[in-house]
Amino acid sequence: MKPLKIIKIGGNIIDDTSRLLSFLKDFSAISGAKILIHGGGKIASELGSKMGITANMHEGRRITDEATLDLVTMVYAGLINKNVVAKLQAQNCNAMGFSGADGNLITATRRPAKEVDYGLVGDVAISGVNTKVISGLLNLELIPVFSPITHDGKGQLYNTNADTIASVLAMALSEMFEVELIYCFDKKGVLEDVNNDDTLIKEINTRNYNSLKESGAIADGMLPKLETAFQALNHHVKAVRIMQAEEVANSNAGTLIVK
Amino acid sequence: MKPLKIIKIGGNIIDDTSRLLSFLKDFSAISGAKILIHGGGKIASELGSKMGITANMHEGRRITDEATLDLVTMVYAGLINKNVVAKLQAQNCNAMGFSGADGNLITATRRPAKEVDYGLVGDVAISGVNTKVISGLLNLELIPVFSPITHDGKGQLYNTNADTIASVLAMALSEMFEVELIYCFDKKGVLEDVNNDDTLIKEINTRNYNSLKESGAIADGMLPKLETAFQALNHHVKAVRIMQAEEVANSNAGTLIVK
């Protein structure tokens, strides 16, 4: 099987123009098949307040009403996605930008309302990924760039978590590619001491994972990320890597997570 | 050569939700290869004024400064394009939305400043159309949906006239397809009496065109449209049709323009 790198960047990079440009240059230099997934960024909230749409948050998560969905569709799938694509094109990287609605690439189901109704938020699953069309695009030597907007196939767009899109794409495409899933962060990777870049853990696997948890080296926000990583590995993703965005061109940087 | 229909709709349809939905349903029912190009609409100006961006017009044409380019990129390539795509998907039409930057599909050059500097506006030419990738997408049975945003290949997006995109796509793709270029209007087509739908001119060709001009049947705003149509025909487009959006599924409706 051909190798495929699936790389996710978040708002921390999107919001910093010089960091973003530098990242896109490095991303362009990566050889072989690759897919970029980008998150949102502060610009949606800034534009929203200009337009009189106030961010409605619950425990750090945005509640997506219709006005907010329009806003994130404009900003994520329009402004950010097309500018990222244009900047990649300037680096001779034949990027093509998508929402999940385009080509029916990613269908989602509305997140069920429990204690909180998150509104027009889509949950994605492996079965919702259109591997046939995505592999067709990769065969045309195109570089897909996904914004975190999906659809239900019945005309409704959804706001969707970009980390989850990345992992679901990675799992689904593992049936045809040897996939490495890369999450770009501000830190060098998973650190034993979160304030000390010299304490990078080079590899996490099923053998040392539990002891790292017990020692407290892995805790808090990193735990769900690693659970997601192991879930991807259990669905035939070959490797997951957590690394600093600035090191994306270095295929050995960061923390490698393997079975 | 395989037939290909290239269909353009403007703001008059985009701005009218029920007319748009009805059009998209009819468009989905058209068999064979097809491409949709959509213009902007009032929503960009409405959102712009909410965001404090005032439309700067010169003789009915928008001057595109950086803030306006961001606005139209969001609204045209994001909000409108993704909603159109999602609505087509709901009709089992495998639409995929694009700006010209995506897949380097349409490159443009900045319009030179003469008496007026239109700002970040791109002019497109046949040579700027990436026929190889567009035909690759059509071979994957995808239905391209273009927003009127292009790029220069060096990282700059441009606001671009949707009518011109449609004609340039038609001319460029005529090397591989038997292209019919369709402009959707409010009226039934070219009318001898603009206020009377019963005076539809069924066919305009190089033989009756001059006499229609001399009799005054074709005048004013219709003249440049017909010049564009004959230019397309001179570049191997098989036929141009001007018709009412409501009749798009009827392949014999409107005014047929042929050599």
CA distances from A200 to A23, A192, A196, A229, A244 (A): 21, 6, 8, 17, 11
**A60 pLDDT exceeds 80?**
no
Chain B CA closest to residue A80:
B74
Q: Which secondary structure element, helix H or strand E, spans residue A6, and what is its range?
A: strand A2-9
A36: its two tokens: 């970029």
CA closest to B147 among chain A residues? A78
pLDDT value at residue B41 = 82
Pairing status of strand A61-62 against strand A57-58: antiparallel
- CA-based nearest residue to A145, from A126, A166, A164: A166
Chain segment B23-76, per-residue pLDDT in tens: 999 999 999 999 999 998 888 888 888 888 877 777 777 789 999 999 999 999
Mean pLDDT of chain A: 94
Give the CB-side neighbour count of residue B205, counting CA atoms within 13 A. 7
pLDDT band at residue A257, thresholds of 50, 70 and 90?
very high
Q: Residue A203: its pLDDT value, please?
A: 97
Helix (H, G, I), strand (E, B) or coil at B62: strand
pLDDT at B217: 79
What 3-state DSSP class applies to A89?
helix
| Cα A138–chain centre separation | 18
Per-residue pLDDT band at A224 (split at 50, 70, 90): confident
- Residue B75 with chain A: CB contacts under 8 Å: 74, 78
Q: Per residue in A5-38, pLDDT tens?
A: 999 999 999 999 999 999 999 999 999 999 999 9
Min Cα distance A220 → chain B (Å) is 35
Chain A residues with beta carbon closer than 8 angstroms to that of B43: none
Residue A194's pLDDT is what? 85
- Are residues A77 and B82, on separate chains, in Cβ contact within 8 Å? yes
Listing DSSP states for A45-68 in one string gives: HHHHHHTT----EETTEE-B-HHH
Report the C-alpha gap between A13 and A164 in whole angstroms: 18
B102 contacts on A by Cβ (under 8 Å): 82, 85, 95-97
Nearest to B82 among A50, A99, A154 (CB): A99
- Flag whether B139 is marked binding: no
Which tokens sit at B99? 């700006």
Cβ contacts (< 8 Å) between B90 and chain A: which residues?
153-155
Looking at the partner chain, which of B51, B78, B101 has a beta carbon nearest the beta carbon of A86?
B101
Residues in the annotated binding site of A for substrate: 40-41, 62, 159
- Looking at chain A, which residue has its C-alpha nearest residue B24? A155
Length of chain A (residues):
259
CA A31 to chain centre: 19
Domain that residue B69 falls in:
2-257
Q: Which of A66-80, B19-33, B113-127, B208-222 has the lowest mean pLDDT?
A: B208-222
B73 → closest Cβ in A52, A78, A95: A78
Q: How far apart are CA A42 and CA B121, in angstroms?
A: 27
Contact A38, A162 (CB under 8 A): yes
B75, B86, B103: residue with CB nearest A155 = B86
**Which residue does chain B place closest to A75, by CA atoms?**
B74
Please say if the pLDDT value at position A49 is more than 90. Answer: no
Residue-wise pLDDT tens digits, B74-108: 999 999 999 999 999 999 999 999 999 999 999 99
Of A214-223, B1-10, B185-194, the one with minimum mean pLDDT is A214-223
Is A109 within 8 Å of B100 (Cβ atoms)? no
User: Measured between beta carbons, which residues in chain B are less than 8 angstroms from residue A74?
Assistant: 74-75, 78-79
Q: At CB < 8 Å, which residues of chain A contact B?
A: 47, 50-52, 70, 73-79, 81-83, 85-87, 89-90, 94-99, 101-104, 133, 136-137, 140, 142, 149, 151, 153-157
Contact across the interface for B77 and A82, Cβ inside 8 Å: yes
Is B41 flagged in the annotation as binding? yes
Of the residues B47, B66, B96, B145, the best mutation for testing chain A's interface (the one with the most A CB atoms within 10 Å of its CB) is: B96
Within 10 Å of residue B139's Cβ, how many Cβ atoms?
Answer: 12
For residue A241, what is the domain's CATH number? Answer: 3.40.1160.10
* pLDDT value of residue A77: 98
Residue A90 and residue B51: Cβ atoms within 8 Å?
no
Q: Which residues of B touch A (CB under 8 A)?
A: 47, 50-52, 70, 73-79, 81-83, 85-87, 89-90, 94-99, 101-104, 133, 136-137, 140, 142, 149, 151, 153-157
B40 is in an annotated binding site: yes
Number of domains into which chain B is organized: 1
What's the pLDDT at B115? 87
CA nearest to B153 within chain A: A90
Give contacts of B86 with chain A, Cβ < 8 Å.
Answer: 101, 151, 155-157
Is there a contact between B189 and B199 (Cβ–Cβ < 8 Å)?
no
Instruction: Give the per-residue pLDDT at B199.
Output: 93
Contact B50 A50 (CB under 8 A): yes
CB B173 within 8 A of CB B129: yes
**CA–CA separation, A176 and A139 (whole Å):** 12
Q: What is the distance between the alpha carbons of residues B151 and B148, in angstroms, rounded to a whole number?
A: 10
Q: What share of chain B is helix, strand, coil (3-state, %, to 5)?
A: 40, 25, 35
Q: How many CB atoms are located within 10 Å of the residue B75 CB? A: 27
What would the pLDDT profile of B184-229 be if each residue is shown by its tens digit?
A: 999 999 998 888 989 999 999 999 999 998 888 787 878 888 999 9
